[in-house]
Structure 1
Amino acid sequence: MTPPFTINSRILNLVAQISEKVGQLSQTLPQAVDLRLRRINQVRTIHGTLAIEGNELTQEQVTAILGGKRVIAPVKAVQEAKNAIAVYEQLLQWHPQDESDILAAHKVLMLGMVDSAGQYRQSGVGVMKAGQVIHMAPPANRVPTLMVELLAWLQQSDDHALIRSCVFHYEFEFIHPFADGNGRMGRLWQTLILAKWQPLFAYLPVENIIHQHQERYYQAINASTQQTDSAPFIEFMLGVIQQALNELDRTDESILTPQVNPQVSPQVRALLQVMTGEMSREELQHACGLKDRKSFRQRYLKPALDEKWIEMTIPDAPNSRSQRYRLTTLGIEKKYQ
């Protein structure tokens, strides 16, 4: 059974543009930086997919957990992060069309979170928003059949992988096969389908971009349900994928040059260690225990900015009174080295 979806000119254009960009990046991204990019983007991916579901861990905390460090946070939030890290690290071991792999991945993702981890739901479920049911999923007794049909279509379809991955993601959310973890699983499986097409997608933080456009994500799902056609969701997701690829293409040279590994001075190390969230210059200087503003800027703040370990919240107005500073992904990685 083929899921209902139509392909319009915008979808075709996006598929062509994305395919071209993937071809360019596959040629230009140096293989030597794969592991570093994987780690940086793994943090973004895991933080994004958890944040969509209400997990309040920061990227810094996810980085710490990934590095085996202890963080002070709710036990459930930490467990969700550990499970997500485990499942994404096994990503390329799964087979997109294999039902047993979907169940196995869900068991890893929801270990210790629900009793039915790795099993389809046994009762009805609705998607709630603002106290109202916005989607009532199919009856539980229909789930096994619907999943078998969806996986059979995925295996037999000759549609482009970009389109197949989007359609699968939407249909998976519509079926809502598990008692919990459906959003995370849908996003994970789309990433898997894409990674089997082009390995580049294994470390492209698509989930992080979805988090940036979370409201539109749900709107696209709802629009597709109302139209009984997943075209709105396909368009949205292709736009997200394109944005993720463009951001990867603009990755700073400091990330893409593996031979450059600047050492952290004791002063900058101290600055990175005291940084949490967004902080003003005064707050940072006080946290470092310094009174000399000029010395702080020259020996602490400027070197960290130059190496792009921290960034301004208002880069176009560096002297703004509202200016704050925060760790970049590179800074988070450096902090926990």
Structure 2
Amino acid sequence: MTLLISGFEGGEFSEEETGNILHTVPKDIQKSAEKRLFNLKDALLWVNKQRNPQFEPTQGKPFLLADVTHLHALVSQGLDEGHNPVGQFRDNEKWQKTYVGNAEHGGRYQPPKCLEDIEYLLQAWIEWLNSPTIINQHVIIRASLAHYYFELIHPFWDGNGRTGRLIEMLIYEQSGYRLSSSAIWQYYQKNIHEYFALFNHCRKQAKNKKDLPNTLFIDFAMDGMLQTINDLHDQSNQLIGFLLYQGSLNNARFNKAISERQFNAIMVMMGFSDTYTPAALLRNPQIKALYSNRTERTFYRDIESLIDAGFLFEQDGKLLLAI
């Protein structure tokens, strides 16, 4: 969750900084940016509680307007960012203008401004989202369109982006998507310029009465989900490979196929983020300590033995774990 929150908030904090903030006592949080992290954590936990244990991508669950205001309240509570009453829709005065977008991402537009129009559009959005035609569409189509149209309405003074992505996540969770429902946000963050530009492109396509104006945004969401699922699959394979490697290493140690010293050398290497040549590895303080009472020849013999046993291999002169 720490990585997700860090990515979802636009990379303002690193993963480590995000973790430190989330472990701070809430009453000690002073900055709005830090408070937003806490709020997002609360919102994600609430969305997770709505999770469907069954995978049902074409059996949508009814969506409630109360969920929208609740999500906005969760992400906006306690923030001192000007006029943004939690869970309350905009009602612009005649002199107040709200704009969405910018020139960099295809232009900006004015969403509906008076409360009466916003409430009417949101109610129509909910009825459409729960209509027989839409509720049983594949969840990727339903969730991405729910997200898209919510952002066009832009019903709150602030926090619409966070609320819209949480709405999308909630719809995914209601269909049993679990990990991929939140991991797709990292895809959005990696492709943030395209994400914003597509809102404007599709809006202009609809304004010009083009056929299927929202197709590109749906395609974008589908590509993101496919990439997300593939990434999760790769991560799972890497984890399985690591566990199998660790099991083989433990068995070799238990059966004395490798020495305790060789086992410890591998364990030290597991903590490295870089690769080393054998000579550079021997200069590492931890490895050097393991061989403090041994000759260099012993070290190189141990390395050759670990390569022969399949626990290490050399590539471009550097040692890598054979995971």
Same fold (TM over 0.5): yes
Unaligned runs of 5+ in 2: 51-60, 207-212, 251-263, 276-280, 290-314, 319-323
3-state SS of paired residue (2:137): coil
Equivalent in 123, 130, 138 of residue 112 of structure 2: 138
**1:237 and 2:221 are equivalent in the alignment:** yes
- What are the within-5 Å matches in structure 2 for residues 50-61 of structure 1? 50-51=9-10, 56-61=12-17
- The residue type equivalent to 1:47 in the other structure is S
- Indicate if the aligned counterparts of 1:119 and 1:178 stay in contact, CA closer than 8 A: yes
Summarize the Cα distance change of 1:173–1:254 in structure 2 as closer, same or farther, 3 Å threshold.
Answer: same
Structure 2 counterpart of 1:81: 37
Please report how far the alpha carbon of residue 166 of structure 1 lies from its aligned counterpart in structure 2 after TM superposition.
0.9
CA contact (8 A) 2:140 2:221 kept: no
Residue type matched to 2:142 in 1? R
Give the equivalent residue in structure 1 for 2:54: none
Distance in 1 between residues matched to 2:121 and 2:316, nearest whole Å: 54
Quick check: 1:247 aligned with 2:231? Answer: yes
Q: Is the aligned partner of 1:116 residue 2:90?
A: no
Q: How far does residue 77 in structure 1 lie from its aligned partner after superposition?
A: 1.5
In structure 2, relative to structure 1, the CA distance for the partners of 1:202 and 1:243 (3 Å cut) is: closer
**Which of 106, 116, 125 pairs up with 1:150?**
125
Q: 1:307 — aligned with what?
A: none
Partner-residue secondary structure (3-state), 2:284: helix
Residues 190 and 294 of structure 1, relative CA distance in 2, 3 Å threshold: same
Q: Distance in 2 between matches of 1:139 and 1:77?
A: 27
Distance across 1 between alignment mates of 2:108 and 2:182: 30
Q: How does 1:259-278 map to 2 (within 5 A)?
A: none
Percent identity of equivalent pairs: 22
Distance 2:221 2:36 in 1: 24
Preserved contact between residue 71 and residue 166 of structure 2 (Cα < 8 Å):
no
Name the CA shift for 1:146/1:249 in 2 (closer, same or farther; >3 Å).
Answer: same
Q: How much does 1:250 deviate?
A: 0.1
Per the alignment, residue 186 of structure 1 pairs with 164
Q: In structure 1, what residue type is equivalent to 2:130?
A: Q
Report if aligned partners of 1:191, 1:201 keep a CA contact under 8 Å in 2. Answer: no
For residues 161 and 288 of structure 2, the distance between their equivalents in structure 1, rounded to whole angstroms, comes to 45
1:5-84 map, 5 Å: 42-51=1-10, 56-68=12-24, 75-84=31-40
Distance 1:294 1:211, change over 3 A: same
Q: CA deviation at 1:181?
A: 0.8
List, as ranges, runs of 4+ consecutive aligned residues in structure 1 with deviation greater than 3 Å.
65-70, 92-96, 130-133, 201-204, 252-262, 296-300, 316-319
| CA RMSD in angstroms, aligned pairs only | 3.8
* CA distance in 1 between partners of 2:43 and 2:110 (Å): 28
Q: Does structure 1 conserve the Cα–Cα contact (< 8 Å) formed by 2:282 and 2:288?
A: no
Please give the secondary structure, in 1, of the residue aligned with 2:195.
helix
Change (3 A) 1:84 1:97: same
What letter is aligned with 1:104?
H
Residue 206 of structure 1: how far off its partner (Å): 0.9
Letter in 2 for 1:137: P
Aligned counterparts, 1:93-104, within 5 A? 93=49, 97-104=63-70
Q: Residue 296 of structure 1: CA displacement?
A: 3.7
Which protein has greater RCO, CA pairs closer than 8 Å, 6+ apart? 1
Match among 284, 294, 297 for residue 295 of structure 1: 284
1:166 aligns with 2:144: yes
Q: Is the 8 A contact 1:47 1:208 kept in 2?
A: no
- Per the TM alignment, residue 180 of structure 1 is displaced from its structure 2 partner at its CA by 0.7
Structure 1 spans left out of the alignment, 5+ residues: 1-41, 273-278, 282-291, 301-315, 320-337
Question: What is the deviation of 1:280?
Answer: 9.8
Taking the aligned partners of 1:181 and 1:223, their CA distance within structure 2 comes to 22
